[in-house]
Chains A and B, each alone.
Chain A
Amino acid sequence: MKVIKIEKEKWDKGVEKLNGPLRLFGPVKDGQFHNFKELDKNQQPDLNFLNTRLSPKSTVFPQSEVMFEYSLDESREDHHIMKEIDQDYSPRAVIGIRPCDAKSFLLVKRNFDTDEYKDPYWIRAFEATTFIGLACNNPCSTCFCTSADCGPFHEEGLDLLLVDAGDYYLLKVITSKGENLLKVADWETEADADTSGETSGNIIDTLKKEAEAKITSSVVTDRLKEQISLELYQAPFWEDAAFSCINCGTCTYVCPTCWCFDIQDETHGISGVRIRNWDSCMSPLFTLHGSGHNPRGTKLHRVRQRFMHKLKYYVDKYDDGIQCVGCGRCIRLCPVNIDIRKICEIMNNYEPAACACPA
């Protein structure tokens, strides 16, 4: 395991050196909160945040992405032909991504990059990106990553992990993709044991344990797999659980692991583009058929879909945990306080027979 020690002044300089050879994305404060933005030349990522308001999924999967363009001008030879547009897939790095959000890309990859189907836009952007994570020394009260197969120092999905050790940073090298950046940034001093003889590995371990101990929130998922899909689907608790939902889709837009999109053509005069935009299973139009029939016609159907997808269908299909990394955004931002931890518990502990709800 290679760990680099970076003095805090050398951090900014290194970022500056990376900006140019790579397109950089990092957290930027705008108003009351941080979000990931492409950094201008000389702009530094602001690492003083708990987590960003929106997830960094847009760095690879933009909310609105032009796929094709076309012309309706019949005097042109290529009229009415969809042409792929040029996108910038030059190397880029996302700096300061939290470990939960980094892991979410691996969950999303299962959808966009399969043996059978490959989403070229997502894959090209993903492959062009190096992820430099920022370990969470102070998780929020709504973070439950440790019970969602993740954690404040989790490394899956990251190429480098940056740890704030007080006076200096430690940068743990996780992949060769990460290692390649070190030279460019001139971060090359390997950390040796500090004055008290503590190795950098131990320092990281101690901070990690401290951070994990600060996580107070959790989900129970142990019985989700054994639950019978249809019984959960038909369970009476959904009426209560879905009541307050206003179907705004905020939960799915802010979620790093939600991957659904919609495709629309937009024509202006005689030229146009085909765009894909984030979509959400919370929207009634998501499943509206051309015939006018809507198989998910009520709010209850839609709320159930979101939670069944994340906490049951995904669990069954991939047999590798839930489709959630525990970032807590949907809990913090739902306008009516629908809480995935609570719903997960109800689903997990559901006993079809025992549920004798007094009418």
Chain B
Amino acid sequence: MLGYIDKIKEISERVLKEGTVEMVIGFQKGTLPMMNEPCFVKCSGDVQRLVWDSNCGINLANYLTDRKEKIAVIAKGCDSRNIVTHIIENKIKRDQLFIIGVPCNGMIDKSKIASMFEKEIIEVVEDQNNIIVKGEGFEETLKKGDVLQENCAICIHRNPVIYDELVSDMVEEQRDVDRYEDVRRIEEMEPDKKYGFFDDLLSACIRCYACRDACPLCYCPTCFVDESRPQWVGKGQDPVDIRTFHFLRAYHCAGRCTDCGACERACPMEIKVRTFTKKLEKDCLEAYGWEAGMSLDERPPLDTFRPDDPEDFIK
């Protein structure tokens, strides 16, 4: 995956020079270990700023919403599915985009890695399969496979589903992955236990809404949770209001979420917010055989009606 960057730079330079696009959206090196910053490059001389490694977990589809320029965007598997969703939802046009597809090997989980060490991590470098973590008086090599973001560890669509050019051959997709073990565990609980489980899950939430803002699906000009006329949800720290925000945010992503993990990665309080969206993803798969963002030609389940829908939940 580290070798991708040369190809990314080459393509970016070419499409900028040839005038195919006005800007390239990618990542530049961050100022902290395990962090890169989304950036744009407008002139071909600047492509040297671009980087690619296992710290590019932010979903770049989020930066395309309603843009008017012609853009080249670097897309992992999940990003590409969110780009498809964006195109279907008219948030950007296909012909505005030059998609630089990146067959992905997964992104690493910075919170998990930080929690494995008593001391502060000062530097993290990687080679093909290893992550080398350094701090004051320690250096340790971790297997990349052991420290992937949770969504990446169970990802079954690592290759971009839509692209104009790929930076490498396709990677092998993971097979026999049990994607919903955690959802089933909750499904089996009694109602009160479920309720308590989500209370604990959300107890640290500060309602910053980073989870919402990092998600490409959340592009409403005014989110229901911010609306004050009418005030759909209380704005304070009442746990019921917090929960209402979370479950409705998730519901608004039903049939659209690609499990890219950007929401969870963004949360400053390390709350596993995918716990909500994964239930919806599982139900969409089981009820409609639907996976979001796989094709430009199919309408998502919540904006279609089939006369043969059993609708057995309606009396």
Question: CB atoms of A and B under 8 A apart anywhere in the complex?
Answer: yes
Beyond A246-B62, A250-B268, A335-B267, 14 additional pairs, beta carbon < 8 A: A32-B111, A63-B206, A140-B120, A240-B40, A243-B40, A248-B212, A250-B266, A253-B268, A275-B236, A335-B214, A336-B38, A337-B31, A337-B37, A359-B42
Instruction: State how many angstroms separate the Cβ of B197 from the closest Cβ of chain A.
Output: 15
- Cβ of A82 within 8 Å of any chain B Cβ, yes or no, is no
- Cβ of B71 within 8 Å of any chain A Cβ, yes or no, is no
Q: Among the listed B58, B208, B265, which residue makes an inter-chain contact with A253, where contact means beta carbons less than 8 Å apart? A: B208
Given A141-B122, A266-B231, A335-B58, CB of A248 within 8 Å of CB of B111: no
Query: Is there contact, CB below 8 Å, between A63 and B234?
Result: no
Q: Which residues of A contact B30 (CB under 8 A)?
A: 337
Interface residues of B (CB under 8 A from A): 30-32, 35-40, 42-43, 45, 58, 62-63, 111, 114-115, 120, 122, 203-204, 206-210, 212-214, 221-222, 226, 228, 231, 234-238, 265-270
With A and B bound together, what is the CA distance between A335 and B39 in angstroms?
14
Q: Among the listed B38, B62, B226, B236, which residue makes an inter-chain contact with A283, where contact means beta carbons less than 8 Å apart? A: B226
Instruction: State how many angstroms separate the Cβ of B233 from the closest Cβ of chain A.
Output: 10
What 10 A-B pairs are tightest by C-beta distance, nearest first?
A335-B266, A248-B210, A64-B236, A246-B213, A244-B38, A64-B237, A333-B268, A337-B30, A248-B213, A337-B37
With A and B bound together, what is the CA distance between A333 and B114 in angstroms?
13
Instruction: State how many angstroms separate the Cβ of B114 from the closest Cβ of chain A.
Output: 8
Instruction: State how many angstroms separate the Cβ of A189 from the closest Cβ of chain B.
Output: 32
Interface residues of A (CB under 8 A from B): 30-33, 35, 50, 53-54, 63-64, 140-142, 240, 243-244, 246-250, 253-254, 262, 264, 266, 275, 277, 280, 283-285, 331-333, 335-339, 341-342, 358-359
Query: Is there contact, CB below 8 Å, between A335 and B43?
Result: no
Query: Is there contact, CB below 8 Å, between B36 and A337?
Result: yes
Point out which of A248, A275, A285, A332 has the most chain B C-beta atoms below 10 A from its C-beta: A248
Query: Is there contact, CB below 8 Å, between A32 and B115?
Result: yes
Point out which of B36, B38, B114 has the most chain A C-beta atoms below 10 A from its C-beta: B38
Q: Which residues of B contact A248 (CB under 8 A)?
A: 208-210, 212-214, 266
Q: Among the listed A63, A244, A249, A341, which residue makes an inter-chain contact with B37, where contact means beta carbons less than 8 Å apart? A: A244
- Which residue of chain A lies nearest to B238 when distances are taken between CB atoms in the complex? A64
Query: Is there contact, CB below 8 Å, between B236 and A31?
Result: no
Query: Is there contact, CB below 8 Å, between A335 and B210?
Result: yes
With A and B bound together, what is the CA distance between A342 and B36 in angstroms?
14
Query: Which secondary structure characterizes the binding site on chain B?
Result: loop
Query: Is there contact, CB below 8 Å, between B268 and A53?
Result: yes
- Which residue of chain A lies nearest to B218 when distances are taken between CB atoms in the complex? A246
Q: Which residues of A contact B210 (CB under 8 A)?
A: 246, 248-250, 335
Query: Is there contact, CB below 8 Å, between A336 and B120?
Result: no
Query: Is there contact, CB below 8 Å, between A342 and B38?
Result: no
Instruction: State how many angstroms separate the Cβ of A39 from the closest Cβ of chain B.
Output: 17
- Which residue of chain B lies nearest to A142 when distances are taken between CB atoms in the complex? B32
Q: Among the listed A64, A280, A332, which residue makes an inter-chain contact with B32, where contact means beta carbons less than 8 Å apart? A: A332
Query: Is there contact, CB below 8 Å, between A266 and B115?
Result: no
Query: Is there contact, CB below 8 Å, between B120 and A249?
Result: no
- Which residue of chain B lies nearest to A244 when distances are taken between CB atoms in the complex? B38
With A and B bound together, what is the CA distance between A335 and B215 in angstroms?
12
Instruction: State how many angstroms separate the Cβ of A112 from the closest Cβ of chain B.
Output: 20
Query: Is there contact, CB below 8 Å, between A339 and B39?
Result: no
Given A53-B269, A337-B31, A342-B31, CB of A285 within 8 Å of CB of B222: yes
Given A337-B32, A337-B36, A339-B31, CB of A266 within 8 Å of CB of B236: yes
Given A53-B268, A333-B268, CB of A243 within 8 Å of CB of B39: yes
- Which residue of chain B lies nearest to A332 when distances are taken between CB atoms in the complex? B32
Q: Which residues of B contact A358 (CB under 8 A)?
A: 43, 45
